[in-house]
Amino acid sequence: MDMLLALQKFIKNVGLRNLAGPVLIVMILAMMVLPLPPMVLDMLFTFNIAMAIMVLLVSMNTTHPLEFAVFPTVLLITTLLRLSLNVASTRVVLLQGHTGADAAGKVIEAFGHFLVGGNYAVGIVVFVILVVINFMVITKGAGRIAEVGARFTLDAMPGKQMAIDADLNAGLIGEDVARARRTAVAQEAEFYGAMDGASKFVRGDAVAGIIILVINLIGGFVVGVAQHNMDLSLAAKNYTLLAIGDGLVAQVPALIISTAAGLIVSRVASEHNIGQQLVRQLFNQPPVIILAAVIIATMGMIPGMPHFAFLFLAAVMGGLAYYLIKKAAKAEEVIVPVDLTAMPVVEPTEASWEDVSQVDVLGLEVGYRMISLVDKQQDGDLLRRIKGIRKKFTQDVGFLPPPVHIRDNLELRPNAYRITLKGAEIGNGEAFPNLFLAINPGNVSGELPGAVTRDPAFGLPAVWIESAMRDQAQNMGYTVVDAGTVVATHISHLIQTHSAELLGRTELQQLFDYLAKVAPKLAEDLIPKLLPLAIVQKILQNLLEEGMHIRDMRTILETLTEHAAQTQDAQQLTSLVRMALGPAIVQQLYPAAQELQVIGMDKELEHVLAQALQAGGGKAIEPGLANTLLREARSAVQTQENLGFPTVLLVPGQIRDLMARFLKRTLPQLKVLSQDEVPGFKTVRVTAVVGGRA
């Protein structure tokens, strides 16, 4: 009683679903050892056939391989089940085969009679043909596709990961969605790798079927004649029927499972299942069907051909083509002409202040062919993506940017767009709504046909391709994005670059209105008692111009409040704020790094620059010295990039502002860090030197 209670408690804690797998495996392995009566064999063979049919139907109704990710495991389990049944049935055939054709159950007898049909030679030949079809055609082809798919999937993983990172950085998706997509990419690679290995089980099963057939034939014949004193003809009849029935009842499910494996690995991922894809892509082109009908009808009129079969099929195909043409004609939209003479005439009104149009802070102008990207009625999702970009920018940078006003511009090329800031163009490009942009990250395995171009956001080489080539491009290592993502990524990159210009007086006032709710004392003590709003705006813009965020407004306001009484100079206050934000700046440049690999500066050059700073009033560098400094900085940056380290120049605090302004235009990728901004718990290692050797 205690054991039953303990077992019940164990099952309740573990769960029946968790026990189903181990119990099934143990039962399959037990069938290889324990003798099974014919009735149980009938039930298990029927279950095996039903399982194979279920697997085939599930495979045909999946729209993506990962929807049936357990298929490699199912392949292994069904193969073990067939082999266990073969072992169990072989034992019964050899022990009881002399009693008659139903010795191993009614299922084996029925399959044997069905295939043999009174001629054992024909039965053996047909069985061998089935095994050869399964082994040489279906299983071998599916295994090859799985092998190539696994290799291409692994090669495409970096490009897919870059596409996910690009969508995340552009604000199109959140962290949860990005994590789910990364998991899906990893699972897809694991799936094709598992299918590559699991296909070997099916091939081995086909070989085992032939061997088991030979064993049952020869072994049964020897046992029947030698041990049971059967006539040669009777022994051959009984054991041939049993062997062929046993082999066929195992090979039919094996053939079905192999077909399911081929369907899973050979189909292209789509929102439609295999049946829908066949109807949409094969039987939905009237010109092709008409041409095929004409060819079939011509063949049917050749003397000696079966005229009825050919002409009947040609008539059916012609009727199908006629139906599709009529259906397409009904689906066309009817354009109703507009009677312009019936429209009322609107009298012009007097001009007013309402007619004055203000320049949009951020604007997106598109050609007429790109209107579908911004029109919700045409499933355009660019507006949603731009909302995501603004939200991501707000979370990363620390203030809410102005909205992006979108309008069409007939002066642009049909597929062109341009992005404006306060009415001035800051970026432009072209996007084709029906195509995909395949971006070359530098490690692709081949070239793609299409319109060669460059990624408008980062200038990487790219090519516009048809949607049918999307999977091929990803397998070759390209990062493939649609037209909406191209525009959204370009906008995201530009607003990050021009974040300082986007922080206007309106945005700053909104930021302080928000701070007045969460930290009212800080905002009240600083503005306007100690500093005017214009100086605070300039300080924040200085931080943004060098790629910093302003999320830590508490530290910024506390630092300004502390030092505003000593100086009102925006540049000096910016330096003080940078010192207070030093740990955050270093964290942004060196995520999770204890040692900072930096570019240093020769001591003599530092001294010369300090003297030049004093002589020139801190505004400019002498031309000869500027040329030398620029040449040395470029060389150091090249060295640092070759080493794979961040391009960060570490200089004394007194010349940091001068160096940052000087190098901003010529070397924008080089960040200038003051020695006073490095926290004491970080170690510094100089890996390149401007004006000397490390």
Dig out the tokens for 385 from the structure.
Answer: 């993506």
User: What residues does 427 pair with on adjacent strands?
Assistant: 419
Same domain for 311 and 445? no
CA-to-CA distance for 244 and 207, rounded, in angstroms?
15
User: What residues does 448 pair with on adjacent strands?
Assistant: none
Dump the DSSP string for 426-450.
Answer: EEEEE--TTSEEEE--S--SS---S
Dig out the tokens for 255 from the structure.
Answer: 């053939």
CATH number of residue 513's parent domain: 1.10.8.540
Same domain for 435 and 576? no
Nearest-10 Cα torsion for 483, 484, 488, 490: 10
In 3D space, the residue among 580, 582, 543 whose CA is nearest the CA of residue 560 turns out to be 580
State the pLDDT confidence band at 499, using cuts at 50, 70 and 90: very high
CATH number of residue 394's parent domain: 3.40.30.60
Q: 528 preceded by cis ω (within 30°)?
A: yes
State the pLDDT confidence band at 620, using cuts at 50, 70 and 90: low
State the pLDDT confidence band at 541, using cuts at 50, 70 and 90: very high
Same domain for 257 and 288? no
The answer to whether residue 287 sits within a structural domain is yes
Produce one character per residue of 248-261: b if its CB has 16 or more CB atoms within 10 Å, e if not: bbbbbbbbbbbbbb
The answer to whether residue 80 sits within a structural domain is yes
Same domain for 80 and 226? yes
pLDDT per position as a tens digit, 551-562: 898 899 889 988
User: What integer is the mean pLDDT of 158-165?
Assistant: 72
Instruction: Say if residue 618's pLDDT is above 60.
Output: no
Cβ atoms of residues 41 and 96 within 8 Å: no
User: What residues does 482 pair with on adjacent strands?
Assistant: 436
The answer to whether residue 256 sits within a structural domain is yes
Cβ atoms of residues 34 and 87 within 8 Å: no
Q: Residue 24 contacts by C-beta under 8 Å, 6 or more apart in sequence? A: 77
Q: What is the pLDDT of residue 28?
A: 73
Domain termination residue (choose one: 446, 470, 498): 498
DSSP at 454:
E
pLDDT per position as a tens digit, 292-350: 888 888 887 888 777 777 788 888 888 888 887 887 777 554 444 545 455 555 566 67
Strands (E), 41-157: none
CA-to-CA distance for 617 and 328, rounded, in angstroms?
77
The answer to whether residue 8 sits within a structural domain is no
pLDDT per position as a tens digit, 30-43: 776 677 777 877 78
Instruction: Say if residue 408's pLDDT is above 80.
Output: yes
Residues of the chain above pLDDT 90, percent: 14
Dig out the tokens for 421 from the structure.
Answer: 């800031």
DSSP at 136:
I
Cβ atoms of residues 557 and 526 within 8 Å: yes
Instruction: Say if residue 215's pLDDT is above 70.
Output: yes
The answer to whether residue 3 sits within a structural domain is no
Same domain for 37 and 173? yes
Dig out the tokens for 539 from the structure.
Answer: 């300080």
Q: What is the pLDDT of residue 335?
A: 45
CA-to-CA distance for 585 and 677, rounded, in angstroms?
8
Domain termination residue (choose one: 270, 291, 311): 270
Total count of residues recorded for the chain: 694
Question: Exposure of 314 by Cβ count < 10 A (0-12 exposed, 13-18 middle, 19+ buried)?
Answer: buried
Cβ atoms of residues 274 and 57 within 8 Å: no
Cβ atoms of residues 490 and 167 within 8 Å: no
Instruction: Say if residue 628's pLDDT is above 80.
Output: yes
At 420, is the secondary structure helix, strand, or coil?
strand
Domain boundaries, position 622: 591-694
Q: What is the pLDDT of residue 334?
A: 46
At 576, is the secondary structure helix, strand, or coil?
helix
Sign, CA dihedral 24-26-32-34, equals: negative
CA-to-CA distance for 324 and 237, rounded, in angstroms?
56
The answer to whether residue 380 sits within a structural domain is yes
CA-to-CA distance for 115 and 110, rounded, in angstroms?
9
CA-to-CA distance for 538 and 375, rounded, in angstroms?
38
In 3D space, the residue among 693, 690, 589 whose CA is nearest the CA of residue 634 turns out to be 690
The answer to whether residue 204 sits within a structural domain is yes
Instruction: Say if residue 471's pLDDT is above 50.
Output: yes
pLDDT per position as a tens digit, 643-688: 888 999 999 988 888 888 888 888 888 999 999 999 888 899 999 9
Same domain for 493 and 544? no
Same domain for 97 and 242? yes
pLDDT per position as a tens digit, 361-377: 899 999 988 888 887 76
Residue appearing with tokens 């829908």: 276
**Cα–Cα distances in Å, from 332 out to 281, 327, 378, 433?**
20, 9, 16, 21
Same domain for 536 and 644? no
CA-to-CA distance for 659 and 665, rounded, in angstroms?
11
In 3D space, the residue among 510, 509, 580 whose CA is nearest the CA of residue 548 turns out to be 580
Domain termination residue (choose one: 498, 520, 553): 498
CA 177 to chain centre: 11
**CA angle at 552 for the pair 550 and 556, rounded to the nearest 5°:** 85
Same domain for 298 and 183? no
In 3D space, the residue among 467, 388, 394, 405 whose CA is nearest the CA of residue 434 turns out to be 467
DSSP at 229:
-
pLDDT per position as a tens digit, 50-101: 888 888 888 877 777 777 777 778 877 887 887 788 788 777 777 776 666 6
CB atoms under 10 Å from CB of 516, counted, come to 14
Cβ atoms of residues 104 and 41 within 8 Å: yes
Given 3-state DSSP classes, what are the helix, strand and coil percentages for the chain, each rounded to the nearest 5? 65, 10, 25
CB atoms under 10 Å from CB of 300, counted, come to 18
Q: How many independent structural domains does the chain possess?
A: 5
Q: Residue 176 contacts by C-beta under 8 Å, 6 or more apart in sequence? A: none
CA 626 to chain centre: 47
Q: What is the pLDDT of residue 337?
A: 52
Nearest-10 Cα torsion for 127, 132, 138, 142: 130
The answer to whether residue 342 sits within a structural domain is no
Dig out the tokens for 201 from the structure.
Answer: 């089980």
In 3D space, the residue among 651, 566, 557, 550 whose CA is nearest the CA of residue 609 turns out to be 651
CATH number of residue 613's parent domain: 3.40.50.12790
Same domain for 606 and 557? no
Give CB contacts under 8 A, 24+ apart, made by 164-170.
Answer: 166/479, 166/481, 166/485, 166/489, 167/485, 169/392, 169/489, 169/492, 170/385, 170/388, 170/389, 170/392, 170/485, 170/488, 170/489, 170/491, 170/492
CA-to-CA distance for 554 and 562, rounded, in angstroms?
12
Same domain for 309 and 456? no
User: What residues does 404 pair with on adjacent strands?
Assistant: 362
Same domain for 38 and 104? yes
In 3D space, the residue among 272, 256, 322 whose CA is nearest the CA of residue 293 turns out to be 322
User: What integer is the mean pLDDT of 468-475?
Assistant: 87
Dump the DSSP string for 369-402.
Answer: GGHHHH-GGGT--HHHHHHHHHHHHHHHHSSPPP
